[in-house]
Amino acid sequence: MEPLSRPRTQQSCRLLPSLTRRHLPYQPTSGKLLVTSPNHHLPGDLVITIGTWNLENLFRPGDDAGPQLQAAHQAKLTALAGTITELAPDVLAVQEVGDPEALANLAERLVGTWHIALANPDGPGIRVGILSCLPLSNIEQVVDFP
């Protein structure tokens, strides 16, 4: 059976019009994962696009590590949303999230419902996390690997 791509609609994961990724210092990466459904809720196999991106100290203005001006923060969110639009991942692993609200601000710029999961911050207050247009469940944080 041929893998099925989930159609993109405004109700699923289509994003707002974009800028190009040439405006950003760190470039995201992405790939595809073929998931075979063990249940009968999915029609056959489903192709999920997964990406990862270092968001480079994503803080809101007013934080010591954040931008000084609201305009700089808005420009960064616009550029990030533009690149995410180009890649159109179903799941995006993110690094260097300083302020959870800053990631929520980014997710608000993306059309459709996006789910967010963040790990606890490290010493300097930086987190890793997931943005997903697919529902997240059974989330577990692993701190120490065996």
Place of tokens 């987190």: 127
DSSP label at residue 109 = T
The answer to whether residue 41 scores a pLDDT higher than 70 is no
Range in 44-58, 67-81, 116-130 with the lowest mean pLDDT: 44-58
The answer to whether residue 54 scores a pLDDT higher than 60 is yes
For the record, the structure tokens of 125 come out as 């207050």
Q: What pTM, to 2 d.p., does this model score?
A: 0.70
Write the pLDDT tens digit of every residue in 110-131. Answer: 988 899 999 999 988 999 999 9
For the record, the structure tokens of 145 come out as 């690997």
CA distance 43 to 9: 18
pLDDT at 12: 42
For the record, the structure tokens of 110 come out as 């993306």
